[in-house]
Amino acid sequence: MRTVLDVRLRRTGQLAGFAKDPDLAYFLRKLARSGYESVPHLAPTEELLAAYRAKSLTWDEYAAAYRAVLDQRRPERIFTPEHLDQACLLCSEHSPRHCHRRLAAEYLRDAFASSTAIEIVHL
């Protein structure tokens, strides 16, 4: 892993523990010789995350709304396939099944599909 791309909405709160920004950047640099970037373009909106956590939205509704956010933000304009090579998207969910990082990874893979093949590996 060359770079951790932090796609969490809340990176600095107490619940982040040792994965708190900027502590995480220090640990990654010193222990893993990896880079760290905060990527708010891939985080959900406050309203969207709150609605999902309050169970006002089903997973499918949340996923569709999050994809619409990505369509509007167009994060592929700030990345290149080379930037994503050996990058790891970080969020708080342990499983990719119901996680926006999976949706973000799939969005970026699809956005660059005509120019390169991006392989997604869930750790």
Those residues with Cβ within 8 angstroms of residue 108's Cβ, 6 or more apart along the chain or in another chain? 75, 76, 79, 84, 118
| Separation between Cα atoms, residue 80 and residue 71, nearest integer Å | 17
Could you tell me the pLDDT band of residue 59, with boundaries at 50, 70 and 90? very high
Q: What is the CA radius of gyration of the chain?
A: 14
What is the per-residue pLDDT across 74-108, written as a single tens digit (0 to 9) for each? 999 999 888 899 899 988 888 888 999 999 999 99
Helix (H, G, I), strand (E, B) or coil at 49: helix
pLDDT at 54: 96
Those residues with Cβ within 8 angstroms of residue 45's Cβ, 6 or more apart along the chain or in another chain? 9, 69
| Separation between Cα atoms, residue 90 and residue 101, nearest integer Å | 7
Higher confidence at residue 117 or residue 68? 68
CB 7 within 8 A of CB 101: yes
Sketch the domain layout of the chain as residue ranges. Answer: 3-111
What is the per-residue pLDDT across 16-47, written as a single tens digit (0 to 9) for each? 555 666 778 888 888 889 999 999 999 999 99
In the predicted model, is pLDDT for residue 9 greater than 70? yes
